[in-house]
Amino acid sequence: MLDHHEGWGSPPMFFGFAADADGELAIAAGPLHDDEAEESGIHPVHFRAAQLKKARLPLWGFGLLFEGFCEEFSPEEIASGEVRRTMLAGHFHERPTADEMCNAVIYDARGNEWAALIYRYLPDRGVSELFTPADTITRPPLGMAGFLWSAALLLDPANRARVFAIVAADEDEN
């Protein structure tokens, strides 16, 4: 997905991943934001997910390519407290330690996370790849990734109670 990044300042891209019974993979991609998404009244990630679900593709996950900050992908214990409040308030760009990154994140319907990150000012470091198994995610991820996580989990109706319980518990803590 990182190869779809057209340069710094590029708008976020939304991806849907589907596979048929024969294992053929299909990927649908497009801009996250447009007039239709803005007029929908719901978060653009959930709007795009709903559009793909209506297409009746055998979806197994969603992905997002966006620019953000390294700390959005910190372990939960680091992303709590001050860092979490700063993220939720939208002030990450003001932090002296805010490392700008291009982020490609995929969540499947079980809640597993795959991320590939590249630093804006240190591209020579190459791509960092991360995998977080679903059973270690006890709070919704921060920022846009949190919307993507919930949309992917909701691909499986059996996950609805789990998603609502995790989100409710997180809201109770804030």
pLDDT of amino acid 159 = 83
What is the number of structural domains in the chain?
Answer: 1
Tens-digit pLDDT string for the chain (174 aa) = 666 666 777 888 899 999 887 877 778 888 888 888 889 888 899 899 988 888 888 899 999 988 877 766 665 545 556 776 777 777 777 877 777 888 889 999 998 999 888 888 888 888 888 888 988 877 777 777 888 988 999 898 888 887 778 777 766 665
How many whole angstroms separate alpha carbon 2 and alpha carbon 103? 7
Residue 58's pLDDT is what?
A: 87
Q: Is residue 4 part of a domain?
A: no
Q: Provide the residue type at 83 as one letter.
A: V
DSSP state of 12: P
3-state helix, strand, coil in the chain (%, to 5): 40, 25, 35
Flag whether 105 is in a domain.
Answer: yes
59-69/13-19 β-pairing? antiparallel
**Domain residue limits at 35:** 13-172
User: If you compute the radius of gyration of the chain from its CA atoms, what whole number of angstroms results?
Assistant: 16
pLDDT at 15: 92
- Between the alpha carbon of residue 53 and those of residues 6, 57, 154, 156, the distances in Å are 27, 7, 10, 11
| 8 lies in some domain | no
> What are phi and psi for residue 79, nearest 5 degrees?
-80, 5
13 vs 7: CA distance, rounded Å: 13
**Residue 141: per-residue pLDDT:** 78
Give the pLDDT confidence score for residue 77 in this predicted structure.
45
Q: Where are the alpha helices (DSSP H) in 26-142?
A: 35-39, 44-54, 81-89
The burial of 102, by beta-carbon neighbours within 10 Å (0-12 exposed, 13-18 middle, 19 or more buried), is given as buried
